[in-house]
Structure 1
């Protein structure tokens, strides 16, 4: 015996599925884009697994990581982006580092958190 699912029920399931896989809100997306732009515009170098990269290469790398997280609905906020994409290597677990002209080298997580505070105007 075959069961038929009403069209209305299928539409509800489609909406629920789309909502479950929803991207970050517009404000979070602006903040994440702003963080990546801040890195690219910073003139800083970015260390990943012991190798230093220019900010533009770092942005490309973080964009790939962010895209991966988006597909899995794992980066709904700027804080999640920092924690899950911009703080450490997914492969080695080593923290990323940022070196900016005139400033001490530091782990990337606090650097991105400072940038987020600036973006939010605090």
Structure 2
């Protein structure tokens, strides 16, 4: 019985460690995405108005703070904080010089994919 209890506590400990690492990972990814938006030369289009990176990240951070309890991944962060207006339902877009505008969610998911691939190497 004592052996089973020890295994149970060890398994519980390992699972909690895995959860802590996963939480740190997604928060690091979110921090990267916020910095990516802040430093971009592209324009963030929200409700038909163009915004600079720093303006966009200020708005996204407010939404992130509001939805923080519902976010458990970088994908949740993108979906809830950086893709559409909660008031109007209008999608956000990104317009970079020399290219067509794209949905902000697509733009951020592509950057998240690049970041993850870089982190694996």
Three-state SS of the structure 2 residue aligned to 1:109 is helix
The one-character-per-residue Cα deviations of 1:37-75 (angstroms, maximum 9, x if unpaired) are: 1111221100111111111100000001001111xx111
Gaps of 5+ in 2: 1-19
In the alignment, what sits opposite 1:46?
Answer: 44
Three-state SS of the structure 2 residue aligned to 1:46 is strand
In the alignment, what sits opposite 1:121?
Answer: 117
In the alignment, what sits opposite 1:95?
Answer: 91
1:102 offset after TM fit, Å?
A: 2.6
Q: Would you say 1:77 and 2:76 are equivalent positions?
A: no
d(CA) in 2 for partners of 1:63, 1:44: 18
Give aligned pairs, total.
Answer: 98
Three-state SS of the structure 2 residue aligned to 1:25 is helix
In the alignment, what sits opposite 1:62?
Answer: 60
Superposed CA RMSD: 1.6
d(CA) in 2 for partners of 1:88, 1:59: 14
TM-score (norm 1): 0.76
4+ residue segments displaced more than 6 Å: none
In the alignment, what sits opposite 2:104?
Answer: 108
Which one has the bigger helix percentage? 2
Gaps of 5+ in 1: 1-21
